[in-house]
Structure 1
Amino acid sequence: MNIEHVGIYAHDSEALAKWYTDALGLREVRRIDRGEGKPAVVFLQGASGAIVEILPTSAMETERALNSPGFTHLGIAVDNMDEQMVRLAEQGIEVKNIRSTSNGWTIGYFNDPEGNILELVQR
């Protein structure tokens, strides 16, 4: 079993999709237009094949409480942490809380423009 995709609600789905494309190198693979004046649902894919689905908050059926159980962060595998940190820094993105774990991984965290937490993981 593999993770196929993760969905992220955004106040501005177009802007967030552009950020994930520019900052992380994901590519758009599908788009669902929801009608005139309504923001699209955008599907982005990374090198592993996993998909990030960006949904406009206007597509939410009910308001989700900020403290409700659910999504906490999105982990992104990288081959070279230092190279990725330089690439992100060139775009004004600061990776924080960088550390080595007890199993030898290197991890660090940053936020997307909507405040979602992203974790870089070098195994």
Structure 2
Amino acid sequence: MTRLAAHHFGVTVADLDRAVDFYRDTFDLGDPERFSVAGEAFSEAVDVDGATGRFAHFTLDGARIELVEYDPAGDDATGSAVNQPGAKHLGLAVDDLDAFYADLDSSVTTLSEPQTTESGTRICFVRDPEGNLVEVLEA
């Protein structure tokens, strides 16, 4: 079997510039690599007629967070609750969850204040500007 390695974790967004601002500023990720992809092979690969994509890659510990804005855009698939089948979230670790939470911009929506789970992991969920869930954890 071919060896697998994590390459990226993708989040489809409707407004790439707004999403880049949020992820860069909220998680202090720096400026991403940006590029666009189009053409017949891309459209066929993603199974969307005439698709083009604008991408932003943030590199984090050897993997990438990939934000992509498609044209044409599809229907909204954001789950409003983390326990809905098909719901998705991105998980990011921090050294000090309380400090991270205290430094959040007041415009950032959270599901709760930081909590300590039965396993001893401290977690907090935030929503990006499009409603996508991001779990911030301190293991």
TM normalised by structure 1 equals 0.77
* 2:18 aligned partner, one-letter code: A
Match of 1:21 among 19, 24, 28: 24
Query: Which protein shows a greater Rg?
Result: 2
Partner of 2:15: 12
Deviation at 1:50, TM superposition (A): 2.4
Partner of 1:107: 123
Indicate conservation of the 8 Å contact 1:33/1:39, yes or no: yes
Deviation at 1:105, TM superposition (A): 0.7
Residues 87-117 of structure 1, C-alpha deviation per residue, up to 9 Å, x if partnerless? 11x3532433332111111111110001000
Indicate conservation of the 8 Å contact 1:31/1:41, yes or no: yes
Match of 1:44 among 54, 58, 72: 58
5 Å-filtered alignment, 1:52-67, equals 52-58=65-71
CA-atom RMSD in angstroms? 2.8
The gaps in structure 2 that reach 5 residues or longer are 39-51
The gaps in structure 1 that reach 5 residues or longer are none
Q: Distance in 2 between matches of 1:28 and 1:69?
A: 33
Deviation at 1:28, TM superposition (A): 3.2
Q: Is residue 2:138 matched to residue 1:122?
A: yes
Residues 52-102 of structure 1, C-alpha deviation per residue, up to 9 Å, x if partnerless? 111113266x657567964511111011011100111x3532433332111
Q: Distance in 2 between matches of 1:95 and 1:64?
A: 20
* 1:15 aligned partner, one-letter code: R
* 1:5 aligned partner, one-letter code: H
Deviation at 1:18, TM superposition (A): 1.6
